[in-house]
Amino acid sequence: MAPSAPKLSVVIPVYNEEAVLPALFQRLYAALDALEVDYECVFVNDGSKDRSVALLRQQFERRPRETRVVLFHANFGQHSAIMAGLAYARGSFIVTLDADLQNPPEEIGKILGKLEQGFDYVGTIRLKRQDLWWRRSLSKLMNQIRERITPVRITDQGCMMRGYARSVVEALNQTREVNTFIPALAYLYAMNPIEVEIAHEERHAGESKYSLYSLIRLNFDLVTGFSVVPLQLFSMVGMAVSALSALLVLVLLVRRLVVGPEAEGLFTLFGIAFFFIGLALFGIGLLGEYVGRIYAQVRERPRYVVEAVLESDAAAEDDTERAEQERYPSAPEEPFALTPPAARAPRTAGRES
Ligand code: UDP
Ligand code: MG
């Protein structure tokens, strides 16, 4: 690693957060200064349409040494933004954080402490989670499902404030998955994980960037990305239903011969038929979720496209050197003619890793 790399990198995805950024800057930098370690904050603007970019630029000018800003040209989603932040982070320890101050930056010290003790993955459990009740119940249900059908053993998958050692981040950087769920993926790469409890606050300002629809999408990413049990479950249900209906045919046949024809129970039949049609449609949809992801993956489009990076010259030089020496012995070509300096091309290219 280059000698001037900071000890701690804090990665923060930002999407339309103008209402909260000023408060975030104030609390985050104060908390990090108090730690008295060499640090950098890597903000990734995920295609915000409000004044977030202007505010990030302002903060960069205020603290150029400790601030780097990666600008996407469109909205690629929180997890893609974090992946980009991880690719740009240079610290030996990396902490990811939401911009909305739901995870108090004052807790970074606790996570850093565990990383320094040699744990390479510091998961978090939100004490007294401050979210809407339906979000909490949905999240609880998804935690239980994930615990049963994937090898990922974490208590509170939803909390994005987590700490990773460089080794885990290097593994994440090499992952080519288009749709992913970072806390789960990182867990698979961790050799020595631990969990700590942290405080949780209400969103400081602005609104949640997740609608029910995008939450469902995200949870499909989690389930399909780490398990094929849902598909197998459908094969099992299909087999059971086939066996039962074979039995029913037998019963009806005997009845037809012994008792005679029957025409009652029409609506019961509808009820049963609709139930199975629903189940079959869900099965096809589920299959589509997997197939769609395979399609997204084989197209090999870039997971994100970086429009520009704001960083001080020292950081850029250091980074270029690092990219050349360590990661990209043969750099892939840059398919997008954007503005990043030529030396950075590999990081923004389709095969960014
Ligand atoms: N975010 C993002 N891209 C998106 C949606 C969200 O970068 O498409 C960021 C957002 O700015 C915030 C974090 O991801 O920093 C978590 O979002 P939010 O707080 O709205 O989610 P919630 O806490 O409601 O789950
Ligand atoms: Mg939030």
Q: Per-residue pLDDT for 341 more than 90? A: no
Percent of the chain with pLDDT over 70: 88
Q: Per-residue pLDDT for 280 more than 50? A: yes
In a domain, 86, yes or no: yes
Per-residue pLDDT band at 130 (split at 50, 70, 90): confident
Q: Per-residue pLDDT for 340 more than 70? A: no
Q: Per-residue pLDDT for 263 more than 90? A: no
In a domain, 25, yes or no: yes
Same domain, yes or no, for 30 and 163? Answer: yes
In a domain, 96, yes or no: yes
Q: Give tens-digit pLDDT for 24-37.
A: 999 999 999 999 99
Give me the pLDDT at residue 188, please.
Answer: 94
Same domain, yes or no, for 132 and 267? Answer: no
Pocket of ligand 1 (CB under 6 A): 13-15, 17, 46, 75, 77-78, 81, 98-100, 102, 208-210
Same domain, yes or no, for 212 and 255? Answer: no
Rg of the Cα trace of the chain?
Answer: 25
Give me the pLDDT at residue 332, please.
Answer: 42
Q: Treating both helix axes as pointing N-terminal to C-terminal, what angle do 133-149 and 212-226 enclose, rounded to 10 degrees?
A: 10
Distance 228 CA to ligand 2 centre (A): 29
Give me the pLDDT at residue 320, please.
Answer: 60
Same domain, yes or no, for 275 and 201? Answer: no
User: How many residues belong to the chain?
Assistant: 353
Q: What is the pTM of this model?
A: 0.84
Same domain, yes or no, for 144 and 263? Answer: no
In a domain, 266, yes or no: yes
For the chain, the domain total comes to 2
Average confidence (pLDDT) over 213-236: 93
Give me the pLDDT at residue 260, please.
Answer: 85
Same domain, yes or no, for 212 and 235? Answer: no
Q: Treating both helix axes as pointing N-terminal to C-terminal, what angle do 78-88 and 182-189 enclose, rounded to 10 degrees?
A: 50
In a domain, 339, yes or no: no
Range of the structural domain that residue 287 is part of: 229-298
- Distance CA(304)–CA(307), nearest Å, equals 10
Tell me the pLDDT of the chain averaged across its residues: 88
Last-in-domain residue among 248, 269, 298? 298
Distance 174 CA to ligand 2 centre (A): 27
Q: How far is CA 255 from CA 158, 244, 248, 250, 266, in A?
A: 55, 16, 10, 9, 17
Distance 191 CA to ligand 1 centre (A): 28
Q: How far is CA 348 from CA 43, 76, 109, 266, 308, in A?
A: 16, 13, 31, 61, 10
Could you tell me the CATH number of the domain that includes residue 61? 3.90.550.10
In a domain, 353, yes or no: no
Per-residue pLDDT band at 310 (split at 50, 70, 90): very high
Which ligand 1 atom is nearest residue 158's CA? 25
Q: Considering only CA atoms, which of 198, 43, 57, 184 is closest in space to residue 128?
A: 198
Give me the pLDDT at residue 318, please.
Answer: 62
Per-residue pLDDT band at 342 (split at 50, 70, 90): very low
Q: Which residue matches tokens 């998804």?
A: 142
Q: Per-residue pLDDT for 338 more than 70? A: no
Which ligand 1 atom is nearest residue 46's CA? 7
Same domain, yes or no, for 187 and 254? Answer: no
Expressed in angstroms, the distance from the first to the final Cα of the chain is 17
In a domain, 326, yes or no: no
Q: Give tens-digit pLDDT for 61-113.
A: 999 999 999 999 999 999 999 999 999 999 999 999 999 999 999 999 999 99
